[in-house]
Amino acid sequence: MRTATLTDASALATAPKGRSLLADARRRFFRNRAAVGGVVVLALIAAFALVGPWIAPWDYEEIDWAVLGSVETMGRPSLETGHWFGTDQLGRDLFARTVQGTQISLMVGIVGALIAVVVGTLYGAVAGYFGGRVDGAMMRVVDVLMSIPYMFVLILLLVVFGRSILMLFVGIGLISWLDMARIARGQTLALRGKEFVEAAIATGVHPFRIILRHIVPNLLGVIIVYATLLVPSMIIYESFISFLGLGVQEPLTSWGALINDGAAEMRNGTSWQLLFPLGFFVAGLFAFFFIGDGLRDALDPKDR
């Protein structure tokens, strides 16, 4: 009988290198054209944000006095003046400003989503894993926080602690972890009934180790997908707050702030002020959307 069992196992012995689910997922992801396109676009945008300051002939807060007053004609996008994307209404170089706004928007989006995901996942996983009264209390806190209008909280934070990018990160991140916590909790409840979790409990693994080794890795698919979809919504939040005048402070800017400025001047025949930032905004959001979509397909173990 021993020999029989060994031969049936040796059938697999030809390829001793393991392919993890994540390795499989990576392969599937890179077969998805739209997702790869999203990655390329995002990489270009990131490169633009990183390299832009080095190649831009103008600084983002420098006013070109020659242009001021006749922006509609002099401030057009042109290679000669060095204003590749034109200038804004105050005669500042739009290329440099778009670079700067891209940096801020990406940072707000990514850092905000990161805070939301880390806090939300751990909170939700703990609530879902322990269940019962712990879960009840923790989720009531989420309900209460959710019922407070997030804009109100954010505005309060910005007013009380002063306007700063750090505050913006903290504020947006702290509000948006609530959804993540709910999602993570729901998934954890389902995972908790799985036999591999029961096996770990029966083995005597410490609860926090179970959460980190068994629950969270199995939430990864949902987390990654949610995170990539969260980044654009963070960017949109930030734009909204900038519109209220509570976002980034002049002369710093962001996609949202640039779009709002551009939109306000649209009737003056300076459409480039809207179109350049809007193009980046749309391209960026679509890129994140396609990546999120591709990740969801790649990580879904059901259609392996």
Regarding 21 and contact with another protein (CB under 8 A), the answer is: yes
Determine the Cα–Cα distance for residues 112 and 164; give it in Å rounded to an integer: 14
Applying CB under 8 A, among 27, 161, 194, 264 the residue interacting with another protein is 194
Tell me the helices (H) and strands (E) count for the chain, helix number first. 13, 0
Residue 62 phi/psi, 5-degree rounding, is -80, 135
Alpha carbon of 117 to those of 27, 103, 220, 227, 296: distances in Å?
A: 25, 21, 11, 6, 16
First to last CA, the chain: 34
Regarding 17 and contact with another protein (CB under 8 A), the answer is: yes
* Distance, CA of 224 to chain centre: 10
- Shortest distance, CB of residue 304 to another protein, whole angstroms? 8
Determine the Cα–Cα distance for residues 272 and 85; give it in Å rounded to an integer: 7
Alpha-carbon Rg for the chain, nearest whole angstrom, is 25
Regarding 81 and contact with another protein (CB under 8 A), the answer is: no
The mark string for 147-186 relative to another protein (x by CB under 8 A, - otherwise) is ----------------------------------------
Regarding 301 and contact with another protein (CB under 8 A), the answer is: yes
Regarding 6 and contact with another protein (CB under 8 A), the answer is: yes
3-state SS class at 63: strand
Applying CB under 8 A, among 87, 187, 218, 233 the residue interacting with another protein is 218
Regarding 80 and contact with another protein (CB under 8 A), the answer is: no
Regarding 302 and contact with another protein (CB under 8 A), the answer is: no
Regarding 133 and contact with another protein (CB under 8 A), the answer is: no
Regarding 27 and contact with another protein (CB under 8 A), the answer is: no
3-state SS class at 278: helix
* Contacting range for another protein; rule: CB under 8 A; set: 15-23, 142-150, 242-250, 289-297: 15-23
Phi-psi region of 17 (alpha: psi -120 to 50; beta: other; left: phi over 0): beta
Regarding 18 and contact with another protein (CB under 8 A), the answer is: yes
Residue 93 phi/psi, 5-degree rounding, is -65, 125
C-beta of 13 vs 160, nearer to another protein: 13
3-state SS class at 277: helix
* Contacting range for another protein; rule: CB under 8 A; set: 26-34, 40-48, 173-181, 212-220: 212-220
C-beta of 4 vs 160, nearer to another protein: 4
Q: For binding to another protein (CB under 8 A), which residues are involved?
A: 1-2, 4-6, 8-10, 12-13, 16-21, 194-196, 198-206, 209, 213-214, 217-218, 220, 301, 304
